[in-house]
Chain A
Amino acid sequence: MATISLWLLRRCRASGVLTYKTNNVRRCSQFSSSYQLSTATVGEKQAFDVDQAASLVKDLRNNFHSGKTKSYEWRVVQLQRIMRMLEENQKKIVEALYKDLAKPEPESFFWEISITNASCKLILEQLKGWMMPEKVQTNSATMSLSSAEIVSEPLGVVLVISPWNFPLLLSLDPVIGAIAAGNTVVVKPSEISSATSSVLSNLLEEYVDNSAIRVVEGSVAETSALLEQKWDKIFFTGGERVGRIVMAAAAKHLTPVVLELGGKCPAIVDSNVDLQVAARRITAGKWACNNGQICIGVDYIITTKEFAPKLIEALRNELEACFGKDPMESKDRSRIVNSSHFKRLANLMDEDKVSDKIVLGGQRDESQLQIAPTILLNVPEDSLIMQEEIFGPLLPILTVENLEDSIEVINRKPKPLAAYLFSDDEQLKTKFVQNVSAGGMTINDTRRHVFVSGLPFGGVGKSGMGSYHGKFSFDIFCHKKAVLYRSFAGDDKMSYPPYHTYKG
């Protein structure tokens, strides 16, 4: 079980600002002019409370108003430093991710490091263009002597709260967007992935401008202290329950939010597919991706009664090809993050209605926090496993008479973050795209839509609001300010009072 350690570490840098962590040990080397915290002896605990949070926000707001984060150069330097940080610390990052999640090295490289790197790179290539005001047309005769544009300006001081499953990517990717848009930012990584949280905190402190970018480590108390403050935007990735709490807190200050939540992402599988490739892609989308602990992973499958046996067989083969005869021995799957989630998943499998529906897998090892890739066939729709987001290596398969009926099955549930269809039938593809509402969808693969930087990544309904990736990351952290320039000429006397000559 990942331990939650509470530290308070106070370190001041010459550039003058602090990273807050809660720690049992408190060290202090230099004081910055902006902080006058009292010294304390080693061993004294100090929680990151509301006052400290207020002080932090005030500090960042002052630094924002100084204008430093608005310059193109500043933004570029921060992004370059983040890229260098990733490059120079790959081993450290991979080790932390392994510690938190037993995440296989290639997954860490691809999903956490290289995607973050690619985000930075894209922004560096495009930022100058994005920062330019967007000229727009004015309309009608009365506007003939005018020009208009939309100016992208930073919002100010923003908060990013990230989850434990892709703790590096889902902390840094939003932060990168916030920086690109010229904001100051506080990031609160998840305490459940504490090793990565700690590494991230140390690395950011070392590499980026601490007067504008900070990490606050901690859990409920610290998050609550942060949520009481007035932010100019809050970007939250996580579960629905906490999403509501974040939005309710934001409402007090009229703070706009982006909520990247989850849901039960379905995959419909038709019979007219290249079964091996489909099975492989589903396997990759489920078990080779943080062992099912991913918001856009395949949560459940729907296929026809007829096709189910073939699909299960194909999945069996692919699972063996990927993880060997005994998947519990394979080093190529993340573990379940902690025993709380392990118990939750075990509960889903052990429910009476469900425990006899296992057709593959089912093995568990609590000491290793590992559950084998498990497929269940025809679990009842009212079972627990079909009511909550699974977020683990269990894959229910539901069957229908006609594949078109799948759409209704999906639409009975809240809108998911992603939905998938494997089919060669153009009509079915059209019907799927038109009738299934989800954050995003991929046809004939899983998760890949999130790699297209020109596509927005975000949810709808219970799966969230707002989106990011690519230019959307820049846009979401900007205010799009309308600007109209008029000349003094072309003044229309007709529209001035007195109106009593107006006949309508």
Chain B
Amino acid sequence: MESEEMKKPVFDQEAGSLLVKELRANFAAGKTRSYDWRVAQLKGMIKMMEDHEPEILTALRDDLSKPELESSIYEIALLKNSCVLALKELKQWMMPEKAKTSLTTFPSSAETVSEPLGVVLIISAWNFPFLLSLDPVVGAIAAGNAIVLKPSEIAPATSSLLVRLVGQYLDSSCIRVVEGAVPETSALLDQKWDKILYTGNGRIGRIVMAAAAKHLTPVVLELGGKCPVIVDSGINLRVTARRIIMGKWGCNNGQACISPDYIITTKDYTPKLVDALKHELEQFYGKNPLESKDLSRIVNSNHFARLSKLLDDDKVSGKIVHGGARDKTNLKIAPTILLDVPRDSLIMNEEIFGPLLPIITVDKVEDSFNVINSSGTKPLAAYLFSNNKKLKEQFVVTVSAGGLVVNDTAVHLAVHSLPFGGVGESGMGAYHGKFSFDTFSHKKAVLYRSFAGDAPLRYPPYTSKKIRLMKAFLGGSIVGIIRALLG
């Protein structure tokens, strides 16, 4: 109704301040700290997914035309796994970790205690709007925090579903969702948080960190970059082509921070690789991929225009070797492969985040490392397909990225024992598995001493005798010094 819409409250500074104040009070009351509370929230999240899977799939289809299988695996199943792992391990994670003490503090015992940080803000992205909203929330809950989640307005169906489901299944006194765009996000960023986890791009990442600096709030920034794939010869080409396709077009149609952005291979090997990719692409998406239901669409017309511009760049439009078809009405671009685009073209200087795959060719496969490192920025992920042991070693040692995968793409994010995060321009901090728990905890050092074992040598007045004794042991081991100190 018109009058209701006009009366809809704007989420402004004041609203942000009140929200944080309320959550801080509820956190201080101790609600979120108990093991039972955390378990109840995680179980609530699992139930939420079980009860509402069709609605979640529908929202993702509305926002992204995301194929059902992708939604089920990459959004729902991955999130469920996170919850299940946290439930399994939480008791262990919450235990203090004993630390060894030495003669320096004898007699004593020491431990590191994991405590919640307090009230945390999670700002998520539009491309995996369900997973990237709730996966960090799982970590924040596991660590015992109160949470505000700001989902992306670019995926509005998922955003509003999250408001409803989180309100229904989780404890609203400690976990809230705030919808909105720039004004709402700014109002949130003006507040003092105990941690901010942001997933998105580098431009906003800088804004988030600058806002956090005002309050000395630590941040985790999960950003992006151009994730390269080096393809050697002498590999299982069919599996390689499939895995590249899955990481690229099978992952939200290239709109994923860890999607292969571009390929580097030798001039010699290129024709084989291109043929293999073409063949597998047709197997997966048919002769007319614009018709396939198994590809997400481009999220909105802004991004469609951006991607079109990359393709229409003079230096590049003649380099298309496969695909290139577009459907503006339905926001679709066919899987497109480009060969030997100039390094200074637009498409090689920004994160593509779409279904365009440039292939850069080199003389020797080892030259790939220079191509990657000369870009000057470290990507979120880098991939190598090779059976050559030495090349693999060189790759791991030479290429700096958030994470690396040899002989596959993207799948490392499903390995809970690996930290998931960037380095340099691709981000700071990491999460997944126990890293999620750790990133939302303060690791508090605790030393317990007794009143025994007090050494007069430690204290003033510093007589010359004491000084001599101290000096006598200084050149030796610290053990020697402390033995003297203990008297």
Contact = CB atoms under 8 A, between A and B. Distances in A.
Contacts of B408: 484, 486
Given A261-B216, A488-B407, A251 B210 contact: yes
A288 B459 contact: yes
Nearest to B293: A500
A218 interface: no
A104 B460 CA distance: 10
B416 A139 contact: yes
Q: Which 9 A-B pairs have the closest CB atoms?
A: A454-B99, A440-B445, A482-B403, A247-B213, A251-B209, A455-B445, A136-B417, A449-B447, A332-B460
B418 interface: yes
Given A109-B471, A322-B460, A483-B404, A137 B205 contact: no
A138 B415 contact: yes
Interface string A137-171: 11110110000101101011000000000000000
A434 to B, nearest CB: 8
Contacts of A87: 475
B223 A455 contact: no
Contacts, number: 283
Contacts of A491: 239, 242
B68 A502 contact: yes
A250 B209 contact: yes
A500 B451 contact: no
Contacts of B216: 240, 243-244, 247, 259, 261, 461-462, 464-465
A481 B466 contact: no
A277 B451 contact: yes
Interface in B424-483: 424-425, 427-430, 442-451, 454, 458-462, 466-467, 470-471, 474-475, 477-478, 481
B200 interface: no
A439 B446 CA distance: 9
A460 interface: yes
Contacts of B405: 483-486
Contact of A444 (B194, B445, B450): B450
B15 interface: no
A446 to B, nearest CB: 10
Q: Give the size range of A's interface with the partner.
A: 35 or more
Interface in B99-149: 99-102, 104-105, 108, 110, 112-113, 115, 117-118
Given A148-B412, A254-B202, A444-B451, 19 more contacts: A118-B478, A121-B478, A139-B414, A247-B216, A254-B427, A256-B429, A321-B459, A439-B445, A448-B108, A448-B449, A449-B110, A452-B108, A454-B110, A461-B118, A461-B216, A466-B218, A482-B412, A485-B406, A486-B407
Contact of B447 (A113, A277, A448): A448
Contact of A487 (B242, B407, B475): B407
Contact of B292 (A150, A278, A442, A497): A497
A122 to B, nearest CB: 9
Nearest to B425: A254
Contact of A488 (B212, B236, B286, B416): B236
Nearest to B451: A274
Interface string A462-483: 1011110000000000011111
B467 A497 contact: no
A345 interface: no
29 contacts: A106-B470, A109-B470, A113-B474, A139-B416, A142-B411, A148-B415, A232-B424, A243-B216, A250-B209, A252-B210, A254-B428, A273-B451, A323-B460, A332-B462, A438-B444, A442-B449, A448-B108, A449-B110, A451-B105, A452-B108, A452-B447, A461-B194, A481-B401, A481-B402, A484-B411, A485-B405, A496-B250, A498-B284, A499-B293
Contacts of A465: 216, 218
B33 to A, nearest CB: 8
A449 B445 contact: yes
A208 to B, nearest CB: 20
Contacts of A113: 474
A497 B72 CA distance: 14
B18 interface: no
B304 interface: no
Interface in A256-306: 256, 259, 261, 273-274, 277-278, 280-281, 283-284, 288
A330 interface: yes
A1 interface: no
A332 B419 contact: no
Interface in A393-451: 411, 429, 433, 437-445, 448-449, 451
Nearest to B286: A498
Interface in B19-70: 28, 53, 57, 67-69
A486 B447 contact: no
B400 interface: yes
Interface in B203-258: 205-206, 209-210, 212-214, 216, 218, 221, 223, 235-236, 239-240, 242, 246, 250
Nearest to B485: A110
Contacts of A454: 99-101, 110
